[in-house]
Structure 1
């Protein structure tokens, strides 16, 4: 995924299916470096992690 698409998803009110390594995630924010984003797993787990934007996939 590219940085511009991450920005679009963050500003959208729609629920957009994004995956990291095949796992559904919510994008919390685009980090200041512009290369990574903070995400958390969809569901009950609220653990947040930083991942490279290029590793995110929209379905």
Structure 2
């Protein structure tokens, strides 16, 4: 995924189908300068991770 699309998904009120390592995630925040995102699994909002935007996949 590219940074622009990740930012759009994070800002949208509509939930997108995005995965990280095969697990459905929510994109909480996008750091465009470093091309990183703060994400968490849909069922576990306390398990936040900072990951590369390029490792996210939209379905």
Residue aligning to 2:11: 11
TM-score, length-normalised on structure 2?
Answer: 0.88
Q: Does 1:21 align with 2:21?
A: yes
For structure 2, the residue ranges without an aligned partner over 5 or more in a row are none
Deviations along 1:6-28, one digit per CA (max 9) or x if unpaired, are 11101211110110010011001
Instruction: Spell out the pairing of 1:20-59 with structure 2 (5 A cutoff).
Output: 20-31=20-31, 33-59=33-59
For structure 1, the residue ranges without an aligned partner over 5 or more in a row are none
Shift of the 45–3 alpha-carbon distance from structure 1 to 2, 3 Å rule, reads closer
